[in-house]
Amino acid sequence: MTTISPPLGRRLAAEAVGTAALAAVVVGSGARAAALTEDGGVRFLATVGASALALTVLIQLLGPVSGGHFNPLVTAGAWWAGRRGGDGPGLREFGAYAAAQTAGAVLGTGLANAMFERPFAEPSGQARDGGALWLGEVVATGTLLLVVSGLDRSRRGALVPAAVGLWVGAACWATSSGGFANPAVTVGRALTDSYTGISAGSVPGFVLAQVVGAAAGVALAGLLFRPGRTAAVPADARELVPGPR
């Protein structure tokens, strides 16, 4: 099926709006949870749950407009997947997407700050460093890209909104770092000194780990899913018993 893309400006607006909404939910839910309870487990349940729900809705809503990436590494994965066939974004388009996503994340963080009576932008004092946390970001981002790229390679893109939401709900709990897994939102979160913040000095390490993880996830998807040698799979296909039936 050939789809006519909306013009670039509208796609960038959709990426900025979606990433802003995502960042506002991450930061806002963290601020609200921290105000409501002292229990760290309940705080994390609330923040991760709200973020996962928001991601699913936003990807579903805006996917037909811009692809619903809201994450430069997802856009990079789409560029990588389409670099030969010409059906992905070009490098210049990748840059524009990443800029729109980062601007959106900063805007959304500011909106959350304002809703909770904080300055629009403020430096976070919360250091998040060290090999264990970086490994956490590698795992969280790697598995996220494995899910997105794997579904894309097997032509099941319609499953991405639900799968990303469900996976983020699991991966944030599973990883020591809390599963940021998104350079744009990581930059945004450097601008709030609330529960979900990250100090500016910890951002480069997190982003680098995310890039490494994304590359690994895309590579793993390439090994497990071979579109050239596999028949197209219907959107909800799942066979309990592999083999002819």
Task: Compare residues 33 and 184 and give the one whose CB is closer to a copy of itself.
Answer: 33
**C-alpha–C-alpha distance, residues 22 and 181, integer Å:** 13
CB of 115 to a copy of itself, least distance (A): 4
CB of 87 to a copy of itself, least distance (A): 5
CB of 182 to a copy of itself, least distance (A): 16
**C-alpha–C-alpha distance, residues 99 and 97, integer Å:** 5
Task: Compare residues 91 and 241 and give the one whose CB is closer to a copy of itself.
Answer: 241
User: Which residues lie closer than 8 Å to 171 by C-beta, 6 or more apart?
Assistant: 139, 140, 143, 144, 179, 181
CB of 124 to a copy of itself, least distance (A): 18
Task: Compare residues 125 and 226 and give the one whose CB is closer to a copy of itself.
Answer: 226
What CA dihedral angle connects 180, 184, 186 and 189, to 10 degrees? -120
Task: Compare residues 96 and 200 and give the one whose CB is closer to a copy of itself.
Answer: 96
Task: Compare residues 120 and 200 and give the one whose CB is closer to a copy of itself.
Answer: 120
User: Which residues lie closer than 8 Å to 215 by C-beta, 6 or more apart?
Assistant: none
Query: Which residue's entry shows tokens 């099926």?
Result: 1
CB of 35 to a copy of itself, least distance (A): 8
Side-chain half-sphere exposure of 7, counting CA atoms within 13 A? 2
